[in-house]
A = this chain, B = another copy of it.
Amino acid sequence: MQRMTRQRAAVGELLADTDDFRSAQQLHEMLREAGHSVGLATVYRTMQTLAENGDVDVLRNAEGESLYRRCRKQVHHHHLVCRDCGRTVELDAAIVEHWAAEVGQAHGFVDVEHTAELFGTCAQCARRGSHDA
């Protein structure tokens, strides 16, 4: 019931080549530049489906936009993301997992989920940024 279409193939190929977090609109533009023709609505739909299936990770930047990325790890993890270029480091954070579970239980909450993301400026962007100014 899940069909392989030209559009989905193009998105999949793009995600394989990209290891920074990107917005749906950025992905759409990248597809256009690569010569593929894929509707914006289709990009949104595709990313949503991939996210639901756990095939991509989603996070929201400070502006509230959703950013997507195909991660190496399939299991739950967190990220350190460059707010300038999207460069991403995948993180294990057993400490954070324990903390979240303990705190939730201690206060009688159930179905506890957590978000924990780090945003910074990567070394390369920091170097580039110090040139001007």
Is A50 at the interface (CB under 8 A from chain B)? Answer: no
Q: Which residues of B contact A109 (CB under 8 A)?
A: 80, 82, 118, 120-123, 126
Interface centre among A103, A111, A120 (most CB of B within 10 A): A120
Interface contact B104-A80, CB-CB below 8 Å: yes
Determine if A113 is an interface residue (Cβ-Cβ < 8 Å).
yes
Number of interface residues of A (CB under 8 A): 31
Number of copies: 2
Q: Chain A, 41-58, contact with B by CB distance < 8 Å: what is the 0/1 string?
A: 000000000000000000
Interchain CB contact (< 8 A) of A121 among B111, B114, B118, B119: B111
A117 in contact with B115 (CB, 8 Å): yes
Evaluate contact between A80 and B96: CB separation under 8 angstroms: no
Please, which residues of chain B bring their CB within 8 A of the CB of A120? 104, 109-113
Q: Is the CB of A99 within 8 A of B108?
A: no
